[in-house]
Chains A and B, each alone.
Chain A
Amino acid sequence: MSKLRSRLVPYLLILPGGFWLAVFFAAPLIFLISMSIQTGNVTSGFTVTWHFAEYWLGLKGYSQQFLHSLYYGGAATALCILLSYPTAYWIAFKGGTRKTTYLFLILLPFFVSFVLRTISWQYILADNGLVLGPLKSAGLLPENFRILATTGAVIGGLTYNYLPFMVLPIYVALERIDFRVVEAAHDLYANKFEAFRRVVLPLSLPGVFAGVLLNFVPAASDYVNAQVLGGPNNTMIGNIIQDQYLYNTDYPMGAALSFTLMAFLLIGIFAYARALGTENVLEAAAA
């Protein structure tokens, strides 16, 4: 009796939260797929007509935005790796007793609302704002010079917003390295560079992989940075999905685009996990 009960315990523990996730996370995804093959409009309602054309129309009509998402998300992720690695390395190996303090400082942006941070950049970089205004009136920059409404501004904003998600996993991976293996490399006549390239770097790669996952998925599906810092030519697929849902009330198109985005990301994640070994990625992501 007590054995049966103890075997039931984990299921009872999972039940309430699992129910919540099943109803409000898994089921909505089914509704999303169903919506994408419906036709109709807001006033007369939508019905399932197995109308798959939205997918084709969406891919064709918004290929530009899909490409932007891929490009901006990828560029921001690459920049995040380049910017994060040196800092994560320094904190992990030379941070000494102040490691936690440095990590805390890196995480500071999270205590200010994501939207407010991004709009703050918009104000700082405005065409006649804090930075460009004085430079322009001093004649150091041409009157029509701008940072906002450019591709660079969107990539920069994405990099800024997701950078801490890259620093943390790389730091965790580096911190775990037993420094004796690096010493062993030196004993075996590896110079500093060789020891880094053949010992430290490979051991830290799981952290980089986890960081790529944590960066690319939200960056590619973001639309706040594109809307606040970008121009009309910088729209990403997220902007379109938001517009279809909230302004055009074309739910089937919005759903088809949303599902396409998720499918692309899922295929990407699986291919990525396959190439690196699922265990590695899951483990690194969970850490």
Chain B
Amino acid sequence: MSTSVLTPASSGLRVPEQPARRRRPKVRFGDRLLHVYTWLLIGWLALPIAAVALFSFNNPKGRLNILWVGFTLKWWGPKLFEYPDLTRAMWNSITIGVIATVASTVLGTLIGLALGKHKFRGQNVTNLLQFAAISAPEIVLGSSLLTFFLTLGVQPGYPTIVIAHIAFCLSFVAVTVRARALTLDPFIEEAARDLGAGPWATFRLVTLPLIWPGVMSGALLAFALSIDDFITTNFVAGSVQTYPLYIWGASREGLPPQVNVMGTIIFMFGAGLAIFNSVRARRARA
């Protein structure tokens, strides 16, 4: 290595080519090593997901689904809804996710627009509040919300879960929309106003379409956060169960394969949506 660095400086014009050629295979080796390493890391990350999917086809005797017994497709059929608690928990997760996504997307988009498009007093405080809400540890979020509800005599349950989910999702939406709104060209809105559009028409026909990708990715993020949330939900759920809460409670007696089927479906749905979104974004750019 040291010789190849020294030669080009001390000799003529033709020589620099040589060390470069000699060095190239070495660079490639390092790159290839990193390439392999990246795939190993991805494999490690994917391993438990693959296990979840694989064991949705397992045929265990009881609820304990740890060792491979035999292949079956039966959990992917009507037997999927064999445990009413699990079905109800899944349904709760979906409905809570939808309500929290819609509400937090509306509230978060408004904040994101204010932060990205306007300059105003208190902007830094608002920014800081978003940052605090995003980085606050979930255990503090959950325990303080439960304290709040208990002190006010509110029975924890479905509505308190929805309230909590909106609270922790909306800052993520706000930050996502803010990033998009920062790229807005103010002249475009001005042009719309010059052409006679009122504030509402300008928003609906110009601003909203421009920030729409940010709103959509904020909404996707909110839904993903809501449907996966465990720690905060566990505090404010009372006796209501969501899908992660059901898994937590049932894990001691063993998770039935139906849990794996539902997990796999959510996975495929989420991954499919993300792929669809990025393909569409790429097409829109092209």
Contacts from A to B (Cβ < 8 Å): 7, 9-11, 13-14, 16-18, 20-21, 24-29, 31-32, 34-35, 83, 86-87, 89-91, 94, 100, 102, 104-117, 119-124, 126, 129-130, 133, 160, 163-164, 189, 191-192, 213-214, 217-218, 220-224, 228, 238, 241-242, 245-246, 251, 254-255, 258-259, 261-262, 265, 269, 282, 285-286
| A119 CB contact (under 8 Å) in B45, B146, B255 | B255
In the bound complex, CA of A130 to CA of B136 (Å)? 37
Asked, given contacts A121-B48, A238-B139, whether A110 binds B145 with beta carbons under 8 Å apart, the answer is no
Query: How would you classify the secondary structure of chain B's contact residues: helix, strand, loop or mixed?
Result: helix
B window 218-252: CB within 8 A of A: 224, 227-228, 230-231, 234-235, 243-244, 247-248, 251
| Cβ contact within 8 Å between B243 and A113 | yes
- Say yes or no: A14 contacts B126, CB within 8 Å: yes
Q: Are B110 and A14 in contact (CB under 8 A)?
A: yes
Contact B45 A163 (CB under 8 A): yes
Secondary structure of the A contact surface, majority rule: helix
Residue from the list B27, B127, B248, B266 in contact with A115, Cβ < 8 A: B248
Q: Are B166 and A111 in contact (CB under 8 A)?
A: no
In the complex, are the beta carbons of A113 and B131 less than 8 A apart?
no
Residues of A within 8 A of B69 (CB): none
Q: Are A221 and B266 in contact (CB under 8 A)?
A: no
B129 within 8 A of A: yes
B15 CB within 8 Å of chain A = no
Given A10-B118, A254-B143, A261-B139, verify A108-B66 contact (CB < 8 Å): no
Choose one: B111, B147, B171; the contact of A35 (CB below 8 Å).
B147
**Contact in complex: B139, A87 (CB < 8 Å):** no
Mark B residues whose CB is within 8 Å of A: 1, 5, 9, 27, 31, 34-35, 37-38, 41-42, 44-49, 51-52, 55, 65-68, 106-108, 110-111, 113-114, 117-118, 120, 122-123, 126-127, 129, 131, 133, 135-141, 143-148, 150-151, 163-164, 166-167, 170-171, 174-175, 179, 224, 227-228, 230-231, 234-235, 243-244, 247-248, 251, 255, 259, 263, 266-267, 270-271, 274-275, 278
Alpha-carbon distance A89/B42, docked complex (angstroms): 15
Query: How far, in whole Å, are A218 and B168 apart by their CA atoms in the complex?
Result: 14
**8 pairs, CB–CB < 8 Å, chain A vs chain B:** A17-B170, A113-B227, A115-B248, A120-B52, A130-B51, A160-B45, A213-B135, A245-B146
In Å, the complex CA distance between A123 and B68 comes to 11
Asked whether, in the complex, the Cβ of B45 is within 8 Å of the Cβ of A20, the reply is: no
- What's the least CB distance linking A79 to chain B, in Å? 12
A112-B133 in contact given A24-B167, A254-B143 (Cβ < 8 Å): no
Nearest CB of A to B58, in Å: 11
Contact B144 A31 (CB under 8 A): yes
**Nearest chain-B residue to A103 (Cβ)?**
B278
Contact of B235 among A83, A191, A246 (CB under 8 A): A246
